[in-house]
Structure 1
Amino acid sequence: MGENLIRKIIHLDMDAFYASVEQRDRPELRGRPVAVGGARERGVVAAASYEARQYGVRSAMPSTTALRKCPELIFVSPRFEVYKEVSRQIRAIFAEYTPLIEPVSLDEAYLDVTNNLKEVASATQIAREIRAKILAETQLTASAGISYNKFLAKLASDYRKPNGQFVVRPEQGLQFVEGLAVGQFHGVGPVTAAKMNRLGIFTGADLRLQTAEFLQQQFGKAGQYYFAIARAEDHRPVVADRLRKSVGSETTFAQDLTELQDLLDGLQPAIAEVWEYCQRTGVLGRTITVKVKFADFQQITRSRSTVGPLASLAVLEHVCRELVEGLLPLPKGVRLLGASLSNLSTGEQALGTPPGGRQLTLAF
């Protein structure tokens, strides 16, 4: 792709995915506040329906806090195999339009439709068609952001949620970024946003006033990224599935975890996403790593390698459980947990299919 060619990127994000699947499959839950996760005293919310979100219930929130906010909240045990199957249906729809699909998790992905298999010139139309197909085939809604880079497409997909889409055209990018709070930027977490606020940086416009040198002094390597996104710049391509050095996922919790069962529950979504990647790509791995970040931001990892490639989800869960148990007794609360798989290998699957199709006239 030539450097002067403006990409057409779509970020597709399913709406309250886990909770929406449960409401779809159980009609008695429709229209009611639902949380996927453990209802125990020290359980954690894995996902919340929009009805629950109206009360302030959010993912990674302790169940006791969620119940205080919404006494009528209904807890449902997660069914990750079901969510993975629905995710496969959705990605099959993506593949009808482009081979350049970069999954982020079970419920979201980036698509590069600059050149697409349907030869549709408008990325907006493609997003609309994909969302309609998802609804027709899964009875679930999706939101989409359309823009010329991944950063803006991600921001745009949150702009009209749920069941909507929003476009940021090339001439609108800078103005769009300037008006947003830095805490809304993908890649700027709560801690970084608070530090920016202390430095007098509250909006994209404030961030743009800072020099690259100042941002690198304050934020290290991430400073260059912040300098670029303040100018609505993001040159990262959409990368189709390919063999990577490692695959992982992690979750930050609203309240520190201290009990073993809460740690295991909190790690389960990351384990599910890692295994889903393995199933979807045919990739296998031998080294399992659990990442832990404590309340004071101290970070540690614990790893174990198997003799041969990982054989099943059960083995992954078993090893992760033993690694977590090896951390006990905890010296302090845990604010983040992650799971990853490395020493990857693959069979005969051809990963990273190159883009095809002829170039089309740009039309957002």
Structure 2
Amino acid sequence: MPVQYPMGIMGEHKQCREKAAVFDVSHMGQVILRGENVGEKLEAICPQAYATLKEGKARYGFFTNPEGGIMDDLIVSNAGDHFFVVVNAALRHQDIPHMKANLEGVEVTEIFDRALVAVQGPAAENVVGELCPAARDLKFMETTIADINGVECRISRLGYTGEDGYEISIPEDKAIEVTKAFLAHEDCEPAGLGARDSLRLEAGLCLYGNDIDQSTSPIEASLGWAIQKRRKEEGGFPGADRVQKELAEGAARKLVGIKPDGRAPARQGVEIQCAEGNTIGQITSGSFGPTVGGPVAMGYVSKGHGEPGEKVNLIIRGKAQPAEIVALPFVKQNYKR
């Protein structure tokens, strides 16, 4: 996926927020898990409740390490006779051996003969639904197998932009044909990596390697919502002691939204100071938010800070730039519930 197409990052971002955009995300790792009690076995390496995930449903989750840090975040779907997992491209070489080593009796197969395409935006239902009526019936975080132009695809209603939309796994030899069919719709244009990043940041969605990593706990990252009640209470996953302690007592730091004053974006690594001039954290993601009409950022601040409305300073090129902590997301998420 290129950084941008001829429309440019700003145009592609606007296209996705107002109509529909197609992203080629085939670099992501697609993995099939087959065996007995796959969901239950996944619970030994993830804090999510996968044993009770119903057929046709998808769930966001993550692998945790023994220290309670996030190894990777992923989407797990119950496809009936197997589980379908999508992992981050850069971590597939970690994640797949991790599953093979820890999911006893489960066949773990990475598939390389399928593309993965995301159609995102308020017009996504029409773009995909006109070619595949079954797609219209899906709600957020649901998945099915259906034909698109006579091609059998896995269609999941989810995405990484904050907008309604789909991620579609397509046989490799039919990927161009199906993608061109989407792009033939008057409301659909291609979009690249630049718009994908600005869209997910406005939607308050974490990027692995920036906002979450091996040292970050789910509670620090404000991802406690992604751990179901039973798992919070029972534990039984790597790093559960730390996660349960932070749930009870609070974490030493937390991820927050930050709105810099003016027009200059605050990039990853920028120091965050409180009004008294003490260092309280660091920016992890930042760019210009086209929908917001100004710079937006996310970062970690220490305990005792982080309430929306708090005034902070960002140290950019040695100078203090005023900013304010704000509630996430910056732009309302428009998923079809």
Task: Report the TM-score when normalising by structure 2.
Answer: 0.28
More helix by share: 1
Higher strand share: 2
